Amino acid sequence: MKILKSLTINKRIKDKLFLLLFCLQSIDLYILDKIYIKRSNKLLKRPSTLYKSNNSEDILKIIHLVHKIARKTHNQKIMLSILKDYIRHYTDIDRAESLTKKYLARFQYKYDRNLYKYSTESRHYKTTSKFYQLAIINLYILYKTSLKEEPYILLKYIHI
């Protein structure tokens, strides 16, 4: 119950949740449109609504939705492919596959366009390499949590 109470107060939790949503949307721009969940879908389409929400139940629904989407085999394969390619080419991203380049570009665009409006921490990631690190770290977390049955690890990450 202590976790649920802190979910309603902490902006950092919302920022982490946004980053995970950006990861999913960077894999496939229409990934959130393919799954309809009552009420949560509205929050996912409008970042400002989620950011203003202080309802822990909504946040938990979105965490569950993120986990459900990440667990799909197709998405796991894409995440693993991007992670492996990034490891091979992290010193020279220009040599990376187009899937990896697109993922990184989409993540940076989503971050700049959405989270920058709501977060004061966004100014920490001015350089492109920092954005790439942030994108890959969050993708790795999504991939690792997608291998588990329950979203407990995802909830723990968001809460920390």
Q: pLDDT tens digits for the chain (160 residues)?
A: 444 444 444 678 878 888 888 899 899 887 766 555 444 455 555 555 555 666 677 777 778 888 888 999 999 999 999 999 999 998 888 899 999 999 999 998 888 887 665 554 545 555 678 889 999 999 999 999 999 888 888 888 887 6
Structural domain total, the chain:
1
| Tokens linked to 92 | 């020279």
Q: By residue range, what is the domain housing residue 125?
A: 2-159
The residue written with tokens 């970042």 in the block is 47
Rounded distance, CA 110 to CA 138, Å?
14
Determine the pLDDT at residue 54: 66
CB atoms within 10 A of CB 104: 21
Determine the pLDDT at residue 38: 47
Determine the pLDDT at residue 28: 84
The closest alpha carbon to 43, from 33, 34, 53, 35, belongs to: 53
Hey, what long-range contacts does 11-14 have (CB within 8 A, 24 or more apart)? Answer: 11/51, 11/119, 12/121, 13/59, 13/158, 13/159, 14/50, 14/51, 14/59, 14/118
CA 126 to chain centre: 19
Q: Does residue 18 contact residue 62 with C-beta atoms inside 8 Å?
A: no
Determine the pLDDT at residue 137: 94
The contacts of residue 158 (CB under 8 Å, 6+ apart) are 13, 16, 17, 20, 63
In 3-state terms, what secondary structure has residue 39? coil
